[in-house]
Amino acid sequence: MDEHVTLTFHGAARTVTGSCMEITSAGRRILVDCGLFQGSRTLESLNHEAFGFDPSTIEAVVLTHAHIDHCGLLPKLVAQGFDGPIFCTAQTADLLEYMLADAGRIQEFEATRRNGRRDRAGDERFTPLYTEQDALVAWRRTRPVPLEVWFEPAPAFRARLWNAGHILGAASAEVDTGGVRLLCSGDLGPQHKAFQTTPAGPTGVDHVVCESTYGSRTRERPSLEQRRDQLAAEVNDALARGGNLVIPAFALERTQELLLDIAHLTDAHRIPDVPVFVDSPLATRATSVFARHASELEDLGGTDVFHHRAIHYVEDADASMRINDMSGVIVIAASGMCEAGRIRHHLEHNLHRRDSTILFVGFQAQGSLGRVLLDGAPRVRISGSDINVRARIRRIDTYSAHADRDELRNWIAQRAPITGGLFLTHGEPGALAALTALVGEDAPQLPVITPAIGESYLLPAAAPATLVAAARPDAARLVGRDWQNDYAEFTLGLKQRLSRIPNTADRQKAVAEMRRVLDAYIDSGHSDADDAERDGARRHGGTGHPDSRRVSSSRPRSRRRS
């Protein structure tokens, strides 16, 4: 019997971060995931807004995995009133202790760093989104559950988890409530991925929510040996130049896969036996969880790759800085998109070096520093400093933890019959459009929806979903590049462009003209789009979100990041 089940998308809608879905049934609410937004400053500012729901009304969270874009707002959720359980696999619970604590430390560090910047002297002080202690309080709410076994996250709900093949402990979440069966893919891994088995899932559900990260791309599917061949070629080319090889890598899974291959290649004398620095305390702690669950992982072959003679784990910040005095070493550091962490100071010290190489091995979201570098920026700004990019920028795709276009297509087809509809999330516009077209070829009668942030849908059994609440008025402006990306790109090249003007007088005229244009926009007030956004905010209770009127005001909102 249908009891008015609704599904609301609070993140990862037309963007690849901030996963958070609210399911309401019989007056009760649970979340699937509660992740941090990453990318442009505009998108990241959502982390500091009030939730689109009252956290105290949420009875449980079903967590798909431990990546921060799926779990990173759990400490904020708990701090603002959520007191229910967080259900996940045992491996995810083990990882979460370190992932959330590290995220809290980063929030505290970033607030301190920004408050100490000379260019912000006298400005309003930042407060961290949450602290390390907040993070540990949230982690203690985890409740491990096994795969493929039904459990009751809250009254009126039952759920079970399926292997997603993405990272250690990753799962898809099936939720049965009000006579409606919903399957949320979480992040899906590729076939034949190191450590993980092929993704699984049920068939014959009413509605499916599927990630679309690589919905427009078909990647090579190399064997483990072919992947190692590619890595060996990159390592040898990089070290032959005499500089460092810097690899921005996610601390969870990607770092461990790299260690697996580097240890093998070193022992086989296929790459030089040089120091490999894992410069991420989080990666070190995550690696200890992998070692703890080694018997559950594929491809280890009985070898303790995590304690290889070439691998050095760097905990101390001073030791991390000393690496920048070295040449001819391999540095693996987080974060994978270069948005925070120790990778940023390694980039500061290596991007200007023609003999160094930066090797990307993972997805780079729009607006992230990693994406800017991959897109060929000649200069970038890191921590207030402008840096020329002279290092060689390289990329290999064979380490992706995400299913590609064809693998996503196959996973969706394997869930048939889908009797209601398909939601495509966790993807950028091109990926969403490409995967929508493919699904249309395979199942032309299946309704496909690409929701926007804030949209809410009524989910009937065996029938298409119906939109019942519109997106945030500013939803379209939140995703992709923002004005701050454009500003950084513009200002980084401004001096060089002005220098190409033949004479000083014309340069002064150009600067004066730019000032006049800016003053004209300031004097004109605001645009029609701003008017529409403000009108929407007034209609929806002040934040521009249709559910914001339900937000608890018992705790002050964190200040927005710069």
Which DSSP string corresponds to 394-407?
EE--TT--S-BHHH
Question: Strand, helix or coil at 445?
Answer: coil
529-to-108, 115, 233, 472, 477 alpha-carbon distances in Å: 35, 32, 50, 13, 10
Which residue did the predictor score with more confidence, 539 or 203?
203
Q: What is the pLDDT of residues 185-238, one digit of tens each?
A: 999 999 878 888 899 999 999 999 999 999 999 887 788 899 999 999 999 999
Give the mean model confidence (pLDDT) for residues 174-186.
98
Q: What is the pLDDT of residues 223-273, one digit of tens each?
A: 889 999 999 999 999 999 999 999 999 889 899 999 999 999 999 999 999
- 545, pLDDT greater than 60: no
Pairing status of strand 58-62 against strand 330-333: unpaired
Return the pLDDT at 183.
98
Return the pLDDT at 537.
39
Locate the DSSP E strands across 443-543.
448-449, 456-459, 466-469
- 62, pLDDT greater than 50: yes
Question: Strand, helix or coil at 107?
Answer: helix
Give the mean model confidence (pLDDT) for residues 169-189.
97
Where does 328-470 have alpha helices with state H? 343-350, 369-374, 405-414, 429-442
**Which of 165-169, 212-216, 528-532 is the least confident region?**
528-532
Please, are residues 353 and 390 in contact by the beta-carbon 8 Å criterion? yes
Return the pLDDT at 535.
42
Is the whole model's pTM more than 0.75, yes or no? yes
Give the mean model confidence (pLDDT) for residues 427-445.
96
Q: Which has the closest alpha carbon to 38: 449, 455, 362?
A: 362
Nearest 5°: phi and psi at 49?
-80, 165
What are 456's strand-pairing partners? 8, 469
Pairing status of strand 171-177 against strand 142-144: unpaired
- 527, pLDDT greater than 80: no
Give the mean model confidence (pLDDT) for residues 282-288.
92
Please, are residues 418 and 207 in contact by the beta-carbon 8 Å criterion? yes
Give the mean model confidence (pLDDT) for residues 141-157.
98
Q: Structural domains in the chain? A: 5-218+401-478 (3.60.15.10), 224-395 (3.40.50.10890)
What are 279's strand-pairing partners? 333
- 133, pLDDT greater than 70: yes
The distance of Cα 279 from the centroid of its chain, to the nearest Å, equals: 20
